[in-house]
Structure 1
Amino acid sequence: MSQKIITIFGATGNQGGSTANAIFNDSSLASKYKVRAITRDPSKPAAKALASKGAELAQADIDNIESVKAAVSGAYGVFAVTNYWETQDKQREIQQGKNVVDACKAEGVKHLIWSTLPHVGKLTNGELSKVEHFESKAEVAEYAAQVKGEMLVSYFMPGYFMQNLTKQFKPDDSGVLTLTLPWNAQNTWVPLLDIQKDTGLFTVGLLEAGSAADGAYVHGVSEWYHPQGFVDELAKVTGKDLKFAEEPASVESIAKIGNKIAEELQENMLLIRDWSYYGKGTEKEQAESDKFLVPGSKKTTWKDFAEKNQWPF
């Protein structure tokens, strides 16, 4: 039986790389799927590493729909993610996403896995209005649902990257390494995700689920944790004196910052604090997403991550 081609956009990045490796690291999946890795620079080490594992390397300009069509031509499945931060242009990212959706439909792709995020304005009834890098992807997801026709479309929604926390501890006035964020130490639920290892367990799991995953929105969470809990666990693993400090923040105080990116990121933190990122109470519903994991796979716990990663302190 011939392998099914899976086109992966952003294959040398966190999400695309994890999706590719989830296939390469499982012999049964590797025999079933052929990875077509889309990269802007096939000569970069990460691209060469994928090629050494058996990936077909291809280039594509996501701003050009004809280029995207060529990238997905003949593919059974596609995983796609866009990068708002390259342009910080909401409308451009939306158009990039629509290019992927339209190209997949035109080329007869059977299953599109779209990396998306909550539409923050709608979720919070307009309370939070500045989180553009979430809403651009969410609007593409809505577009895909409207125009997909017979194509299967599944939606992967990555949580808060565990990797972010490796850079966020700073000494306080007394020299104690402190994580300072506008979260409640004991009550805020944070959806932690090992973006590099666990993304592919969800995305390839959706691919494997086929029609059962059509229209599914999967919360990409390795482990839900309160801030005090994951800081205490990290202190135990590293043997360092660490603490968490809640930074007061409100929509009104954020509006006074005067820096678009800083305001957006701060509202992102309020989304976690007040809305559990995906919506109030969603920390209780993780099992609904976990049923789409690659069968037999095991997610990374925060303790696993803390023990296996290098910390700059």
Structure 2
Amino acid sequence: MSKKILTIFGATGNQGGSTLSAVLNNPTLAAKYKIRAITRDPSKPSAQSLASRGAELAQADLNDIESVKKAIAGSHGVFAVTNYWETMDKNAELQQGKNIVDACKSEAVKHLVWSSLPHAEKLSNGELSKIEHFDSKAGVQEYAEQVKGDDLIVSYFMPAYFMSNLPTQIKASGEDGVATLSLPWNAASTWLPMIDIRNDTGLFTVGLFEAGERANGFAVQGTSQWLHPQELVDTLSAVSGKPVKFVEQPLTVEAAAQSGNKIAEELAQNMLLIRDYSYFGKGAENKQDESDKFLVDGAKKSSFKQFAEKTQWQF
């Protein structure tokens, strides 16, 4: 029996690379799926490394739907992720996502897994209206649900807060010489969903492909572990053998807007989304089991402790 082609956009990046590895590192899945890796430059060492692992290399321009159609032709499944920060234009990202959806329909792809995010403006009833890199991806999700029809399965992977953000956020020394994480969260009550993005993305995305029709329309909370900020720094203190503290940084929507810096305001509102809406929506911390049902069979997610143990911390 011939293998099913899984086409992976962003194959040299975090999410695409994890999806690729989840297949190629699992003999059962590697026997079932052939990987087509979409890269910008197949001649680069990172792309050639994928080829050496058995992936087929291809190129695509997300702004050119004909290019996308050519890249995914013959695919059973497509994993797609876009990068808002390249253009910082939510309409541009929305159009790229629509091109992927329309190309999948045109090329009779069976299953699209779209890297999405919650619609922050709608979750917050308009209060958090500046988190464009969330809302543009959510807009693609809404579009896909409108147009997918009966022949295309579409599932959604919504990655949580990256554990890999933390090494640059924890300052080497505060005023008292103690390493400090300072964000607008409550140390004991804010629920923070975190993901080891490189390790755990593929456990969810490939699990969605495996689930097939059962995953149609489902949006996975891509979370490795939910924890409070105090638990985070306590874990890091235990792993590093050095004291690490959390300091709550007062912040309001109005204060975030005063910076006049678009990126700063967007990221500040992102932190408020975590504090006030549990990132995925109020009460999302109680619903993680619904998403974990879609993990690849036998998969075990990373804990923050495991991530911390394999990470070099500069404090």
TM-score norm. by structure 2 comes to 0.98
Question: How do 1:98-177 and structure 2 match up within 5 A?
Answer: 98-149=98-149, 150-170=151-171, 171-177=173-179
Alignment partner, residue 273 of structure 2: 271
Deviation digits for residues 170-202 of structure 1 (CA, Å, limit 9, x no counterpart): 121222110110011000000000000000000
Alignment match of 1:203 (pick from 184, 202, 205): 205
Aligned identity (percent) is 67
Counterpart CA distance in 1 for 2:114 and 2:76 is 14
Q: Are 1:55 and 2:55 matched, yes or no?
A: yes
User: Which consecutive unaligned segments of at least 5 residues does structure 1 have?
Assistant: none
Deviation digits for residues 127-165 of structure 1 (CA, Å, limit 9, x no counterpart): 111000000000000000000112000000000000001
Alignment partner, residue 196 of structure 2: 194
Q: CA deviation at 1:276?
A: 0.2
Matched AA of 2:106: A
**Number of matched residues?**
313
Matched AA of 2:183: L
Question: How do 1:39-78 and structure 2 match up within 5 A?
Answer: 39-78=39-78
Matched AA of 1:276: S
Counterpart CA distance in 1 for 2:43 and 2:301 is 32
Counterpart CA distance in 2 for 1:235 and 1:49 is 36
Give the match's secondary structure for 1:85: helix
Alignment match of 1:281 (pick from 280, 283, 295): 283
Alignment partner, residue 28 of structure 1: 28
Counterpart CA distance in 2 for 1:53 and 1:166 is 30
Alignment partner, residue 310 of structure 1: 312
Q: CA deviation at 1:52?
A: 1.0
Deviation digits for residues 10-60 of structure 1 (CA, Å, limit 9, x no counterpart): 000000000000001100000000000000011222212211110001111
Alignment match of 1:239 (pick from 237, 241, 244): 241
Q: CA deviation at 1:223?
A: 0.2
Counterpart CA distance in 1 for 2:163 and 2:61 is 30
Counterpart CA distance in 1 for 2:44 and 2:232 is 35
Matched AA of 2:62: I
Deviation digits for residues 45-76 of structure 1 (CA, Å, limit 9, x no counterpart): 22122111100011110110000000110000
Aligned Cα root-mean-square deviation (Å): 0.7
Alignment partner, residue 229 of structure 1: 231
Deviation digits for residues 266-312 of structure 1 (CA, Å, limit 9, x no counterpart): 00000000000001111011000000000101000111111112222
TM-score norm. by structure 1 comes to 0.99
User: Which consecutive unaligned segments of at least 5 residues does structure 2 have?
Assistant: none
Matched AA of 2:211: A
